[in-house]
Amino acid sequence: MPPVTSRSSFVSIWFILDAVLALFPPIYWVAGGPTPLIAGIPCSIVYFVLLTAFICGSLIAAYVDDERRGAFRTSAP
């Protein structure tokens, strides 16, 4: 089985951005103001929904990158 190349730097940077957006409280505090609404939904809920979509997108991109690199290839018996 050939060696697997390293992960794309684009995906790695995306993972770091995921961690910053998910774990840095001031971003949530700004979105969690008392009155701002987006289409009648509190901004904090919109923030979490968009963050969830962003993180899911990064996982899908990592999976596609792993497929491209051959990370899931197995040797024939």
Hey, what's the torsion of the CAs at 38, 31, 53, 7, to 10 degrees?
150
| Structure tokens belonging to residue 21 | 């957006």
Give the pLDDT mean for 50-71: 91
Give the pLDDT mean for 50-74: 90
The whole-angstrom separation of Cα 47 and Cα 29 is 10
H-run or E-run covering 46: helix 43-69
| pLDDT for 57 beyond 90 | yes
Band of residue 76 on the pLDDT scale cut at 50, 70, 90:
low
pLDDT digits (tens, 9 = 90+) for 3-41: 667 788 899 999 999 999 888 877 777 766 666 777 888
Cα dihedral 15, 19, 20, 21 sign: positive
The whole-angstrom separation of Cα 46 and Cα 30 is 12
